[in-house]
Amino acid sequence: MTTEAIPSTQLQTESKRHIARTLVDADVHNSVNDISELLPFLSDRWRTYIQQAGFKSPEFSRYIRLYERAARRDSFPPNGAFPGGDQEFAREQLLDPWGIDAAILCPLYPVSDLHNLDFGSALARAVNEWTATIWLDKDPRWRGSIVVNTGDPLAAAEEIRRAGRDPRFVQVLLIARAPAPYGRRQYRPMLAAASDMGLPLGIHFGGEHGGAITATGCPSYYIEDHTGMPQAFEAQVLSLVAEGVFETFPSLRVALIEGGFAWLPALMWRFDKNFKGLRDEVPWLQKLPSEYIREHFRATTQPMEEPPNPQHLLQILDMIGRDDFLMFATDYPHWDFDAPDRALPSILPADIRAGIMAANAEAFYDFDRT
Amino acid sequence: MTTEAIPSTQLQTESKRHIARTLVDADVHNSVNDISELLPFLSDRWRTYIQQAGFKSPEFSRYIRLYERAARRDSFPPNGAFPGGDQEFAREQLLDPWGIDAAILCPLYPVSDLHNLDFGSALARAVNEWTATIWLDKDPRWRGSIVVNTGDPLAAAEEIRRAGRDPRFVQVLLIARAPAPYGRRQYRPMLAAASDMGLPLGIHFGGEHGGAITATGCPSYYIEDHTGMPQAFEAQVLSLVAEGVFETFPSLRVALIEGGFAWLPALMWRFDKNFKGLRDEVPWLQKLPSEYIREHFRATTQPMEEPPNPQHLLQILDMIGRDDFLMFATDYPHWDFDAPDRALPSILPADIRAGIMAANAEAFYDFDRT
């Protein structure tokens, strides 16, 4: 096993990084409690539209999640806000007790599922301004993800260039299940904007846009919805690599958030094998698909894959071929929260563990950009 | 690593098995060259229908496969038939030179994609009679798969009970990508028929029914279509287990054909972990999802996953937890044919190799039922 993780001591010597972080949480969910919270960030046109229609929220699922708002029961703030809906409560329940030095907010407000494209884009911008005002302004440990309306990639590009000027936003948030995979040409302007702004894509668990959520239709249960989510990540990785995105945007990086990672070796092997027989179809690729994957992708840990034999986890990391591939995440406040002190099996060597808990995310995200 | 494979010597002592097979090919494709070949097996009604409409074939793909008919160039018979379209040529090119003792035919005639359900069911039955007459009658080494129209599960059940009376048919052939996963209730009569007849399901690579072929829409290229195929298998495994199919049909077995297998450990770990939090949703499950998978599923080898470090393959088998999980297949006559002498890496111990090449399929399929 190679040791490509950057030791945390080295980080202190890098001039652009000011803080030695030992615990980074790469996936925390802040929630809009009510559409009224977004009204200050919307134009008169959309305020009228919302009020006239009685619009409450784009959130909707045909899968019943067993846990209300997919949340830990103890994460409902006493003031009646949603889990992740009260900045102070989240700070007190997550950041302070666990000693988290930086936490990336991923608001799962599904603006891209709305058919009215301008409304979706207006909501995306409103959510980003809300995140900046209600969360990032309140505690320097929070970092933001830029919500975009992928239904209108040109508008998404514009929002990335606007919101990305605020250095507290560290990635562009995309949802794993979309009507088309993100390597498809229609998304190029959006990817160009992310690349130009030096922002990675964060592809996050989720998406229920109306089409089938698996390669073979819609399953019946949330356990299938949730367990089957890596399928969308597999399709996204395939698409971004096969379409030559990383030849067009050589510095673009992608975080796979809440989709697991143990499925990656199988995908890399099949992809490389097929590439040998089918490379004529994708002549822009200059190297093996697995090389693009190793270079451009990282994954968050939660939900941590937990083989009964923990040795198997080390083997998977060895197959992936990068010790710095994983970035720790809690997924607070969701029901399948991974606690920082228990998420990683004890079999992991100390340097790999330190990398996962902070250094890998520090190397991937620019938490201190100005 | 445990050794659960049945040694081939033991097979000879089992009274119901008459032939000691050392090489079994679990995936060979016989092809209908022209609709005229099926006319003798269709009623007047459908013969008129076909002729009036000028119907040629249900075969269709929006992915251009780079290789004509997805075939090895040397598999086109000199008489102008399709690859896999000439029984004698296939016998001479595949069975004889490689010394294959039994080969399972999987005709990929996509009858389930047709919207006219009665026509699809009539074609399914015709293909099965054609397989019996044109292939199984000609060489005792061939075994058949029952083609069914999954668009009409009641008709599919009827066809399984009809065709299954011919003991040369050893499985029910299902296509991985369907409009709904096969655990869904609508398919129960079809699964009941397979279970009653003692026939395993063989879920095979493929399917283009009109809906998206991944969890996130349609990718652009055949390399993505092909490399992404395990997604459909993942959804099928999830569905069959989550819906309690193996509690309803405890003896039902499933072969995963041409979908790979290295993705299974990741799925089992995520599934088991989610089961701990979500078991209330699927109260009929009596054990861990991974236990159903290990007990009821097997996979064919081709396309063999080829990690650059062959040790990783042994690790994957260890994670799957059954040495008898894999069954050798060539996928003749397709372009990505795996040769019997080169498909398996030399690192595999002799007993495991012998199991993969014949004994595992012998234990899974009943090649000598009467």
Looking at residue B369, what is its pLDDT? 85
Smallest Cβ distance to A224: which of B217, B242, B335? Answer: B242
Give one DSSP letter per residue of A333-347, joined into a string.
TBTT---TTTSS-TT
3-state helix, strand, coil in chain B (%, to 5): 45, 10, 45
For residues B182-201, average pLDDT: 98
Look up residue A223 and give its two tokens.
């356990």
Preferred mutation among B2, B177, B216, B234 to probe A, highest tally of A CBs within 10 A = B216
In terms of DSSP bridges, do strands A326-327 and B142-147 run parallel, antiparallel, or are they unpaired? unpaired
User: Which is more confident, B95 or B2?
Assistant: B95
Look up residue A143 and give its two tokens.
């970092």
Q: Would you place residue B50 in the very low, low, confident or very high pLDDT band (cuts 50, 70, 90)?
A: very high
Say whether A269 and B184 touch across the interface (CB within 8 A). no
Smallest Cβ distance to B238: which of A180, A219, A306? Answer: A219
Preferred mutation among A270, A290, A335 to probe B, highest tally of B CBs within 10 A = A270
Q: CA quadruple A173, A178, A181, A184: dihedral positive or negative?
A: negative
pTM (2 d.p.)? 0.93
Smallest Cβ distance to A270: which of B66, B179, B260? Answer: B260
Looking at residue B36, what is its pLDDT? 97
Say whether A215 and B228 touch across the interface (CB within 8 A). yes
Q: Would you place residue B5 in the very low, low, confident or very high pLDDT band (cuts 50, 70, 90)?
A: very low
B86 Cα to chain A: minimum distance (Å): 25
For residues B95-104, average pLDDT: 98
The rounded distance, in Å, linking the Cα atoms of B187 and B204 is: 17
> What's the gap between Cα A216 and its chain centre?
25
For residue A336, the chain B residue with the least C-alpha distance is B277
Q: ipTM of this model?
A: 0.91
**In the predicted model, what is the mean pLDDT of chain A?**
94
In terms of DSSP bridges, do strands B297-300 and A24-28 run parallel, antiparallel, or are they unpaired? unpaired
CA proximity to B307, closest of A231, A87, A268, A306: A268
Say whether A178 and B217 touch across the interface (CB within 8 A). yes
Smallest Cβ distance to A262: which of B178, B217, B265? Answer: B265
Has residue A186 got a pLDDT over 70?
Answer: yes
Can you tell me whether residue A47 is helix, strand or coil? helix
Give me the half-sphere count of Cα atoms (radius 13 Å) on the Cβ side of residue A161: 12
Has residue A219 got a pLDDT over 90?
Answer: yes
**pLDDT tens sequence across B279-331:** 999 999 999 999 999 999 999 999 999 999 999 999 999 999 999 999 999 99
Say whether A236 and B216 touch across the interface (CB within 8 A). yes
For residues B56-75, average pLDDT: 92
**Which residues does A284 contact at the CB level (< 8 Å), separation at least 6?**
A244, A247
Looking at residue B18, what is its pLDDT? 56
Look up residue A170 and give its two tokens.
């560290």
Say whether B263 and A263 touch across the interface (CB within 8 A). yes
The rounded distance, in Å, linking the Cα atoms of A123 and A129 is: 10
Report the b/e string of A225-236 with b at 16+ CB within 10 A: bbbbbbbbbbbb
Looking at residue A369, what is its pLDDT? 85
User: Which is more confident, B310 or B19?
Assistant: B310
Beta carbon pairs, A and B, within 8 Å: 252
Cα B313-B315-B321 angle, rounded to 5 deg: 110
Say whether B266 and A269 touch across the interface (CB within 8 A). no
Say whether A220 and B184 touch across the interface (CB within 8 A). yes
CA proximity to A145, closest of A119, A181, A111: A111
B10 Cα to chain A: minimum distance (Å): 32
B chain contacts of residue A281, beta-carbon cutoff 8 Å: 66, 221-223
CB B147 within 8 A of CB B243: no
Say whether A221 and B242 touch across the interface (CB within 8 A). yes
B chain contacts of residue A274, beta-carbon cutoff 8 Å: 223, 226-227, 303, 336
B17 Cα to chain A: minimum distance (Å): 36
Residue B299's beta-bridge partner residues? B256, B326
